[in-house]
Amino acid sequence: MNGATTSGELRAHNRVRLLRAVHDSGAVRTRSQLTRDLRLARGTASVLVAGLAEAGLLHEEPAPGHARGRPTQVPGPHPHGPVALAADVREDAWELAACELGGRVTVLDVRPHDGTPQGTLGPLGEAVEAQRRRLGHRVVGVGVALAGPIRHGGLVDIAHLGWRSVDVPALLGLSGMPVIGNDTVLAALAEARRGHLRDVRVGLHLHVDFDLGGVLVVDGRPVPGASGAGAEFGHMPLSGGDRPCPCGATGCWGMDVGANALLRDVGLAHGGGRGREQAERVLATSGKAVEANARALGRGVAALVNAHDPEVVTLSGHGVELLERAGQALMAACEPGLMAIRRDRPPRIEGSALGWRGSLLGAMESVFDHFLTPEGLELWRKNHPDQARDTPDRQSVTYSTLARHKPL
Ligand SMILES: [Zn+2]
């Protein structure tokens, strides 16, 4: 019972459990299914749901396709309920979204940036504050994914852009402290909550964009490292190269996997977070460059599988396309690198079901992880205004061109 002793504590504990169950299941379980999942008495569940609806946290709708009789109710996000603002900052652009309990994402803004810390984070901070003014007390936190190692909760290095110890919270200039996370770590977190790493004890997640990041996921949690900068499998010499990497090391795996390597292979300019569209064209048209990328990816995967013995290896970003377009080359490069004891039952290698949206969803999860606590809900109760504010329009959920992949 997590030390819940008084009836008030027990109620608070059950409120958190119910909201967590609604959120984690994508707001599709019916009230009676949730009641069973959480082993609650029916009466207790009714009182809990009613209380949460009154508090502006949940709203019930009839289950779709229910024909006759009393409709089964599905608890989901309240139309004026909590919103996590989540941003995915890539090397060339950022995307800002409003996320509701259950994981519904509404993209609010997508903008290219100039690659400088100020030119990237200044406008993003302003966009976040504008949304916070619009949504008022509905905003329960801000999560930001960035394409580089993050130390001590906010100091970011993005070698391709020349960022060194950039103080992200200071440059965002928000009125509250944002949750800052590495894009790969957050994509891995989303994969563990809503993708192929769900219920996996030991998994490996690799996120491929301009280069690649990778992290071990144990019991649903990416292993962050002592200072938080641990998701850097891309900076290990796993593919046999000897090129100097902007990170300062030599022969990094990330030099051979991702958009920069695709562009380099066909003789196009690369680096500095530029060339996304050209790289996508190369990915679609140049079998040779794609296979070289996939082979480098496969060699590195073998080394990491030897070291960590994961059940599943998941790929996000361009990793999904590399697997789709050159899966054979990837596997052919992976297999000879596996230890003999691994070859009988090699781990599954799977493309992320979340596509490009993983980092954004992971940023959302990190905000709701703070909110879905007795303390977070108590703060909501205190802040909840009597009058509802503006609501993201349910009918106009948009999907940006930056992440122009299937809607969730
Ligand atoms: Zn490196």
3 state SS of 137: helix
CA of 70 to the centre of ligand 1 (A): 60
- Centre of ligand 1 to C-alpha 342, Å, is 28
Q: Which residue has the higher pLDDT, 65 or 156?
A: 156
* Average pLDDT value over all residues in the chain: 92
The environment of the single-atom ion ligand 1, i.e. residues with CB closer than 5 A, is 235, 245, 247, 249, 252
350 CA to centre of ligand 1 in angstroms: 25
CA distances from 273 to 86, 209, 313 (A): 21, 10, 26
160 alpha carbon – ligand 1 mean position (Å): 10
Q: Tell how far CA 282 is from the center of its chain.
A: 26
At residue 226, what are phi and psi to the nearest 5 degrees?
A: -65, -40
Q: Please determine, for residue 192, whether its predicted confidence score (pLDDT) is greater than 80.
A: yes
* 250 Cα–ligand 1 center, Å: 7
Q: pLDDT tens, 156-188?
A: 999 999 999 999 999 999 988 999 999 999 999
Specify burial of residue 347 (Cβ count, 10 A radius: 0-12, 13-18, 19+): buried
CA distances from 311 to 221, 275, 296, 301 (A): 14, 35, 21, 13
291 C-alpha to center of ligand 1: Å? Answer: 22
CB atoms under 10 Å from CB of 362, counted, come to 31
pLDDT surpasses 50 at 396? no
280-302, pLDDT tens digit by residue?
Answer: 999 999 999 999 999 999 999 99
Which pLDDT score, from 0 to 100, does residue 230 have?
87
Confidence of residue 406 (pLDDT cuts 50, 70, 90): very low
Rounded to the nearest whole angstrom, what is the distance from the C-alpha of residue 209 to the centroid of ligand 1? 14
The model's confidence at residue 386, banded by pLDDT at 50, 70 and 90, is low
Q: How far is the CA of 246 from the centre of ligand 1 (A)?
A: 6
Residue 212 Cα, ligand 1 centroid: separation in angstroms? Answer: 10
In the predicted structure, residue 314 carries a pLDDT above the cut 90: yes
Of all residues in the chain, what percent carry a pLDDT higher than 70? 92
| 358 CA to centre of ligand 1 in angstroms | 23
Position 2 confidence tier, pLDDT thresholds 50, 70, 90: low
Q: How far, in Å, from the CA of 229 to the mean position of ligand 1?
A: 13
Strand 73-77 relative to strand 58-62, pairing: antiparallel
Distance 314 CA to ligand 1 centre (A): 21
Q: How far away, in angstroms, is 252 Cα from ligand 1 center?
A: 5
Between the CA of 255 and the centroid of ligand 1 the distance, in Å, is 7
pLDDT of 405 > 80? The answer is no
For 85-121, how does the pLDDT look when each residue is reduced to its tens digit (9 = 90+)?
999 999 999 999 999 999 999 999 999 999 999 999 9
Cα–Cα distance measured from residue 232 to residue 251, given in angstroms and rounded to the nearest whole number: 14
b/e string for 95-113 if b means 16 or more Cβ within 10 A? bbbbbbbbbbbbbbbbeeb
